[in-house]
Amino acid sequence: MANTPPTQDQNQSVVDRAREVIPGGAQTGLRAQAYNTGDIAFESASDATLTTVTDEQYTDYHLGFGPVILGHAHDDVDAAAQAAIDDGVLYGAGTTPLEVEVAERLVDLLPSVEMVNFCNSGSEATYHAIRLARAATGNKKVLKFEGCYHGWHDYVDVSVYPPTDRVGERYPESDGMLSAAVENTLIAPFNDPEAVNEILHEHGDELAAVILEPIPHSVGCLLPRIEFLETLREATAVHDVPLIFDEVISGFRHSPHGVQGEVGVTPDLTCVAKALGNGYPVAAVGGRADLLAQAGGDNESGVVISGTYSGSLPGLAAARETIDTIVANDVQAYLTDLGDRYRDGLNDLLEDHDINGRIVGHRSIFSVQFGVRGEPHNYEDILGLDEKRFHTFAAGMRERGHFFTPNPYKRHHLSAAHDETHLESYLDAADAVFADL
Ligand SMILES: Cc1ncc(COP(=O)(O)O)c(C=O)c1O
């Protein structure tokens, strides 16, 4: 039977059916935002291309919120995962050579990591990290920073995107959160060493952990001032409070050594996920051996770290292959150069079209932000974003074949499958869309 070409109706039918059985028509609220630029149902992806059920193709700058660092359907990563599948996906007892090999790579590459526990998502990793820190200190309170996202659980889903009139106070991001958890989460502005010193001075004895994205990409890109990171390191060490770097986005995307390796500030615990497995569900919490050893399972009062699927073999095989490919090919050098060229090209276009806006980013990540200028240092610096203009920009780029999530606070990602051709095509499209803005 001949293939019938898909029609726009097929797209609509998938979306309509999705809306009947899936809240918002997508697996997460943020994924549902793709509907801001028109209903969309994707069916396949390879290299830097995403394809819809109606065979429309887009260059993908979303990359599943960042994990796909080597490109979609990467042959070697998929072959490694397939080989693991062929050997059975889950044993659920004892250990395996594969998990030891991936753990050893994390210990070798990430300065803070002496021992590792695997899990499946960034949220699990930050949850485990906080539990380890609470157990070690006997304290309850956790300090986090406005604009940093550490996952969906009640300990940390506070003051990620507070509305303007709630900046500076604890802002629970979801209904249904446990008030005791929210009350035990302290918040501070990013990049403010004085605020950190004050809070540590006042609450040092009650704090279980300080957690941050060393580069908060959950709001585009806030580059950290080195004195801020150094103050955090010193103040937490003085008060014996574990410092947690959430490198779920940055780990293995910016450097195999993490931002901690780039800036020379070593936390006590580190969470990695996303780029670790090029899109396969695999994540880890690692860090000081004495903290991790609490989860050794060999004493009655120890920390429970649990999960039927933790250390699942296809994810670990993907992680081993992804790490080895990144390291062997110095993927970050390539992506940093390409990222610089996107940023330079976009900055030139903003100037040519006299548009009030800025391009922020680091290495393979960039964000186009309208209505604001200058380098952002904290959450307040992104409050004036022109959301409407960004939506128009995202829709115009999508019409021209370039997909990124139409959320003005999010970011573009590049992969090793992006190249010169994608760059030129993107900048040509941006030129045309900027002309109409
Ligand atoms: C910095 C950071 N931490 C934690 C998480 C949570 O990870 P996951 O969505 O895998 O649970 C995310 C997810 O976007 C993240 O960006």
pLDDT digits (tens, 9 = 90+) for 87-139: 999 999 999 999 999 999 999 999 999 999 999 999 999 999 999 999 999 99
**Cβ 213 under 6 angstroms from ligand 1:** yes
Give the pLDDT mean for 174-194: 98
**Cβ 255 under 6 angstroms from ligand 1:** no
**Cβ 65 under 6 angstroms from ligand 1:** yes
Query: Ramachandran region of residue 14, left (φ > 0), alpha (ψ -120 to 50) or beta?
Result: alpha
Count helices and strands in the chain by DSSP H and E runs: 14, 14
Question: For the sheet containing 57-60, what is the strand order?
Answer: 42-46, 49-52, 57-60, 402-403
pLDDT at 381: 97
Rounded CA-CA distance 177/31 in Å is 21
Catalytic status, residue 78? no
Average pLDDT, the chain: 96
Structural domains for the chain: 8-73+330-436 (3.90.1150.10), 75-329 (3.40.640.10)
SS3 of residue 97 by DSSP? helix
**Cα 123 to ligand 1 centroid, rounded to whole Å:** 6
**Cα 356 to ligand 1 centroid, rounded to whole Å:** 31
> Which residue among the candidates 61, 127, 149, 426 is catalytic per the annotation?
149
**Cα 276 to ligand 1 centroid, rounded to whole Å:** 12
> Which residue among the candidates 268, 274, 280, 379 is catalytic per the annotation?
274
pLDDT at position 285 over 50? yes
Strand partners, 172: 158
pLDDT at 5: 57
pLDDT tens-digit series, residues 358-373: 999 999 999 999 999 9
Rounded CA-CA distance 55/146 in Å is 40
- Total residue length of the chain: 437
Give the pLDDT mean for 224-234: 98
Rounded CA-CA distance 167/389 in Å is 23
